[in-house]
Amino acid sequence: MSKTEVEKNEEGLFKKWLDQTDQVFKEWVDCGSRPSDVATGDQGEGVMPRAPTHFERNLEVWRQL
């Protein structure tokens, strides 16, 4: 594979990962979870998934790691 092909593949997979992560977070928000579940650390539906940080959403940061 050429460098360009590898970079395009990385970008596509990274976008797919971000989209999946955003979808999980959106589903959690839309389900109407109770804040008390998050505060107590209940392992049920109320546990808020961790959203990626600003740095995690940047492919160049991952490339430098």
Please list, residue by residue across 4-30, b when 16 or more beta carbons sit within 10 angstroms of its beta carbon and e when fewer do: eeeeeeeeeeeeeeeeebeeeeeebee
pTM of the model: 0.64
Indicate if the pLDDT at residue 62 is higher than 90: no
In this structure, which long-range contacts are made by residues 57-64, counting pairs with CB atoms below 8 Å and at least 24 apart in sequence? 57/18, 59/10, 59/11, 59/14, 62/14, 63/10
Least reliable range by pLDDT among 3-7, 15-19, 22-26, 30-34: 30-34
The residue behind tokens 């999946």 is 20
pLDDT per position as a tens digit, 23-50: 888 888 888 655 545 544 554 556 666 7
Domain containing 23: what range? Answer: 3-64
Q: How many structural domains compose the chain?
A: 1
Separation CA 60–CA 7 (nearest Å): 11
